[in-house]
Structure 1
């Protein structure tokens, strides 16, 4: 495999973890207000969706953007 792929993979993992942390921070701020009725049990599943969406989209974008480049 190309060494750039591993760089894209690590960058995508970092971005996915950052998206998950941001989502959980916002989720914590939203659930502290009693007037907003949000089920607390849904947070882990939505955090997983946020991670997967950020990870897969960034990885696909990075790989497709640099797919046609050749090493010189």
Structure 2
């Protein structure tokens, strides 16, 4: 069975965040999110809205579709 889209987004988000050398806390601060919320997104526990996905992608400097591709 393939991974859920939530888990794919979480893994991609974590990879891009780490590539930029940002901690969860730093990225969450920049986006106005709580660190625990961002952690739950990275673990695939949260169902993001398209607006949130766009905000994350913009801050990471990637196309939103890059967060959706395994």
Fold match (TM-score > 0.5): no
TM-score, reference length from structure 1:
0.36
TM-score, reference length from structure 2:
0.37
**Larger Rg: 1 or 2?**
1
Structure that is richer in helix per residue: 1
